[in-house]
Each structure stands twice: as structure tokens, then as C-alpha cells.
Amino acid sequence: MSTFLTHSTLNASTSMAPTFLLVGLPGLSAVPSWWAVPLITVYLLSALGNGAILWIIALEPTLHRPMYFFLFLLSVSDVGLSTALMPTLLGLAFANTHAVSASACLLQMFFVHVFSVMESSVLLAMALDRALAICFPLHYPTLLTNGVISKICVAIAFRCLGLHLPLPFLLAHMPYCRPQVLTHSYCLHPDIARLACPGGGGAVYSLFVVLSAMGLDPLLILFSYGLIGRVLQGLGSSENRWKAGQTCAAHFSAVLLFYVPMVLLALIDHLRMPIPQPARTLLSYVHFLLPPLINPILYSVKMKEIRERIHKRLKPRKVGCA
């Protein structure tokens, strides 16, 4: 790794170098292949769990409702995010490959951020769905119609693709003054942008794109839960409050799982906290790899209809005698 760093430092210039250098888990470079096993295991379990969610929602007509449609989109984003991360992670794990070409790095950055913003947008849409269902139960079917859901999907697609599509091209043409050594095991926008020379033309747009989703969505989700909390306080019995709160339990857990590590990483970087690099790397892995693994478990356990439909589909059918 030190030879990579030296080479990159000598070749830092005002243009993008042909390669970026990734950082793996410190201490594992001598025996890189062993941690490929947990990586592959996490990925396969994530794909299996989210695949089961996608499969059951697609096949069961009774689950063709707004809440489950958003859950379907959440599983799509989880599969996409974990898949986008795997190439560089497995390269580091199997072959200790730290160098990645600029084009491949920008391509990975695009897909990682597209699926991250998709997940954030879907979590926001799910918070809106729960707020409407609990705050306006009588008007819920007329408020969240198929037409409204279609508009939400178009808005999510625009946020994910329309806003992020220019980013790789802007970063590819920005001047770079620092050694192109990244601080993660995959290519992320803030990591690449910090290497650019001050005053780069795309810096303002890049900051707007990141803050418009990852900064705004958590605030709107908190606002939605504030409305839900006010309604729950007004319910007569504790049993009714418990039942209404249980419909939000899986979503609230998914929100915490996605945003808490992200906020901690942002605070560590912004406040320049003296956190060891291995701890930062592990926290980054938790942020990106844990939600795709845990979300299917959360929704299967907390949502009775999902659990019952999966059990019904997997249960062997009895064949009667003629």
C-alpha cells in the first residue's frame, strides 16, 4: 500500500489521474482473502432476503398496496446498493487490489449514490405513507391514490438519475491538486470531490445534490414522525397506541439503521474527531452493508402479512387422493 501512496503523491497534478487508490481494512492486507467469506455471505444473505420480499410482493395481489409497493422499492435499492459496492470490496478482499481506474471509480460512485438516494427517498415516502395512514385514516385511500404514487415514483427517479447523472462528468473534468488516495474501500462522491482544487466548477452543484437528499430527507422523516406522535398521544387507550405504533416499528428501525451511521460519519469528518481509521472503515461498512441485510428481517418479523404470505408460499401443498 505504501508504494501506491508514494506513486499517487508523485503523480498528483491538475488533471484527473488514470487511477484512484482505495483503502481497505488496516491490518488485513497481509491475509486479504479471509474476509472475502463474510463479505460474500453478507451479500448472498442480503440478496436472498430482499429477493424473498420482491418475490412475495410481486406474486401476492393482496400486497399490491402503497405500503408494500414502497417496501418493494426499498428492496430494489438495497439489492442495487450492495451490488454496486461489491466489485471494489471483493477486489480488496481477494487480491488486495487498491488501484481502480478513474472511469470505473466514477461509475461505481454514480450507482452507489443513485441507490443510496433511492433508499433515502423511499424511506421518506414510507414515512409519508405511515403519517397519512395514522393521521388521516378515513381519507387515506383517497389521498394516496395510484396517480399520487406514480408521481412519487417519477420524483424519486428524477432525484436518483436526473440530479446524479451530471456528477461523474463534472468530477471527471474538475482540476485535481491532491494525491488521488481515497479514504474508503469504494468510490464515494465526497471522497473524490475533496481531492479537487479549490474553486472547481462543479463543487456547488455537487454539494447541492448531496444535501438535497441526505440533508433534507431525515428532517422530513422526523417531521412525519412528529405528526404521528401527536396523533398517538391523542388516542384513548394504550392498546390503540401500541397497535398504531407497531405499524411504524419496522420503518422506524430501518430509518435508524440507515441514517445513524451516516450522521456519525459526517460528524467525524466535519469535526475532525480523532477516530482511528479502522473504526471509520467499519462504520462505513455498517452504513452501506447492514441495511440491505437487516431490512428484510425487520419487515418479515414486524409485518404480519409479509410473514404469513411467505410462510403460505413455502408451505408444502397437500395433494388429495382421487
pLDDT in tens, 41-51: 999 999 999 99
- Give me the torsion for CA of 78, 83, 88, 92, rounded to 10°: 90
Q: Name the strand (E) or helix (H) holding 19.
A: strand 19-21
Model pLDDT, residue 73: 95
**Confidence category of residue 151, pLDDT binned at 50, 70, 90:** very high
C-alpha 235/C-alpha 223 separation (Å) is: 19
Model pLDDT, residue 10: 37
Under DSSP, is residue 181 helix (H, G, I), strand (E, B) or coil?
A: strand
Phi, psi of 309 (to 5 degrees): -70, -40
97, 23 contact by CB (below 8 A): no
C-alpha 152/C-alpha 149 separation (Å) is: 5
Does pLDDT of 310 surpass 90? no
- The three state secondary structure string of 149-172 is HHHHHHHHHHHHHHCCCHHHHHHH
| CA-wise closest residue to 228 among 137, 303, 130, 123 | 130
Q: Name the strand (E) or helix (H) holding 119.
A: helix 102-135
190, 210 contact by CB (below 8 A): yes
| CA-wise closest residue to 257 among 226, 219, 296, 224 | 296
Model pLDDT, residue 184: 84
This prediction's pTM: 0.87
DSSP string covering 59-110, please?
H-GGG-SHHHHHHHHHHHHHHHHHHHHHHHHHHHHHH---EEEHHHHHHHHH
121, 217 contact by CB (below 8 A): yes
C-alpha 152/C-alpha 129 separation (Å) is: 11
Give tens-digit pLDDT for 204-256: 777 777 778 778 899 999 999 999 888 888 776 677 777 777 778 888 999 99
Give tens-digit pLDDT for 106-122: 999 999 999 999 999 99
Task: Name residue 262's amino acid.
Answer: M
Q: How many helices and strands in the chain, by DSSP H and E?
A: 13, 2
C-alpha 127/C-alpha 217 separation (Å) is: 10
Rg (CA), the chain: 22
